[in-house]
């Protein structure tokens, strides 16, 4: 577990700098240096007055299994939303006015976000899960990115 | 294990990209992002708002009740949550298209569009909503179109 800073909540009181034994919290990017952060130390998390620092897990347990019939139906819903996204893309390309283009773009993003939610609830929530690993294995032989992603999990 | 169809792969991968970003894993996120692009091979016969409205409308009346029944029968609360948000958002998508078909470009005069990155809710107004009416995410989770 290593510390991470939510810069939107950080009030720059910098108490994390006082308590960090390795200086990992003091960086030019505003993010905590994961290389120097001590596993599970959490001194900065507790010291932060604005609750802007949290711990990111290194290990995740296998998620609860999903009912396969329901998962299949959720993926169908995901496909239906993907089709809507594609239709919105065509409308964006052909739009003769900026307002029309903007509305289609807002809808395009909305379809993608709701489709992702269906994919998540169909069991593709956690990158490290067995279900995701099996999916990547299927493509690892033909796609370099799938191979690298699988190796990195 | 049954594999997902080609038309859900891009979505699965873009979701995993976001999940990896949340876990502060930029390299893995980038790989999933590339996979999301690689597998984004879909196309659409529908090319106007009338056709798109029909797609959303049919999904609400035909598809959702079926998935809802399946989620109810196994009491999957995560899926039920996604269905509550999804149906509300789809109803809003449909209503926005309806209003645009009625009023045209005038609908957007003096207003901006904001999309909730958490649930997909689309807001049409002068300012960003303080809180998402669908999922209660704060204003910071909205992106302006």
Q: Determine the average pLDDT of the residues in B94-116.
A: 97
Quick check: is B72 in a domain?
A: yes
Classify residue B15: in a domain, yes or no. Answer: yes
Sign of CA dihedral B83, B86, B89, B92: negative
Nearest-angstrom CA–CA distance, A60 and A76: 28
Residue B117 domain-assigned?
no
Residues of A in contact with B140 (CB under 8 A): 8
In a domain, B99, yes or no: yes
pLDDT at B141 over 70: yes
Q: Give the count of alpha carbons within 13 A of B90, CB side only.
A: 29
Give the burial class of A15: count Cβ atoms within 10 A of its Cβ; 0-12 exposed, 13-18 middle, 19 or more buried: middle
The tens digit of pLDDT for each residue in B71-88 reads: 999 999 999 999 999 999
pLDDT over 80 (residue B36)? yes
Residue in chain A lying closest to B112 (CA): A102
First vs last Cα of chain A: how many Å apart? 16
pLDDT of residue A153: 86
Residue B91 included in any domain: yes
CA distance A152 to B107: 47
3-state helix, strand, coil in chain A (%, to 5): 55, 5, 40
Residues B8, A4: C-beta atoms closer than 8 Å: no
Residues of B in contact with A8 (CB under 8 A): 140
Domain extent at residue B51: 6-103
Give me the mean pLDDT over the B5-23 stretch: 94
* Residue B110 within a domain: no
Distances in Å between the alpha carbon of A56 and those of A47, A126, B141?
17, 14, 20
* Span A80-127, pLDDT tens digits: 999 999 999 999 999 999 999 999 999 999 999 999 999 999 999 999
Q: Do A107 and B96 touch (CB under 8 A)?
A: yes
Return the structure tokens found at B111. Answer: 């207003």
Please give the Cα distance from A105 to B145 (Å, whole number): 7
Whether B2 shows a pLDDT value over 80: the answer reads no
In a domain, B129, yes or no: no
Tokens of A55: 């711990």
What number is the average pLDDT over the span A15-44?
Answer: 94
pLDDT of residue A97: 96
For A82, which of B7, B48, B71 is closest by C-beta distance? B7
Chain A residues with beta carbon closer than 8 angstroms to that of B56: 84
Of B27, B86, B117, the CB nearest to A152: B27
Residue B7 has pLDDT above 90, yes or no: no
The count of domains in chain B is 1
Q: How far is A19 from chain B (nearest CA, A)?
A: 22
In a domain, B127, yes or no: no
Please tell me the predicted confidence (pLDDT) of residue B78.
96
Closest to A145 (Cβ–Cβ): which among B2, B35, B108?
B35
Confidence of residue B3 (pLDDT cuts 50, 70, 90): confident
pLDDT for the residue numbered B1: 53
Indicate if the alpha-carbon torsion angle B40, B42, B47, B49 is positive or negative.
negative
């Amino acid at each position: 577990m290593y510390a991470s800073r939510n810069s939107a909540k950080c009030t720059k009181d910098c108490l994390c700098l006082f308590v960090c034994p390795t200086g990992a919290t003091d960086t030019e990017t505003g993010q905590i240096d994961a290389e120097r952060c001590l596993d599970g130390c959490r001194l900065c998390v507790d010291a932060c007055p604005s609750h802007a620092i949290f711990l990111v897990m290194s290990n995740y347990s296998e998620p609860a299994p999903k009912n396969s019939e329901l998962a299949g139906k959720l993926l169908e819903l995901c496909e239906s939303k993907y089709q809507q996204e594609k239709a919105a893309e065509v409308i964006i390309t052909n739009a003769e006015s900026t307002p029309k283009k903007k509305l289609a773009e807002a809808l395009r993003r909305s379809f993608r976000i709701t489709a992702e939610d269906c994919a998540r609830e169909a069991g593709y929530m956690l990158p490290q899960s067995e279900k995701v690993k099996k999916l990547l294995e299927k493509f690892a032989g033909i796609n370099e990115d799938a191979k690298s992603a699988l190796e990195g999990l | 294990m049954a594999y997902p169809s080609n038309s859900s792969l891009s979505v699965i991968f873009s979701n995993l990209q976001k999940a990896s970003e949340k876990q502060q894993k930029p390299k893995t996120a980038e790989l999933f992002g590339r996979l999301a692009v690689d597998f984004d091979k879909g196309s659409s016969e529908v090319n106007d708002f009338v056709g798109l409205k029909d797609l959303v409308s049919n999904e609400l009346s035909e598809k959702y009740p079926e998935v809802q029944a399946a989620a109810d029968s196994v009491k999957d609360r995560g899926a039920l949550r996604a269905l509550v948000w999804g149906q509300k958002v789809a109803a809003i998508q449909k209503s926005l298209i309806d209003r645009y078909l009625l009023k045209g470009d005038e609908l957007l005069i003096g207003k901006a569009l904001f999309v909730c990155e958490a649930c997909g809710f689309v807001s049409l107004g002068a300012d960003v909503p303080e809180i998402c009416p669908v999922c209660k995410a704060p204003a910071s989770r909205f992106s302006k179109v």
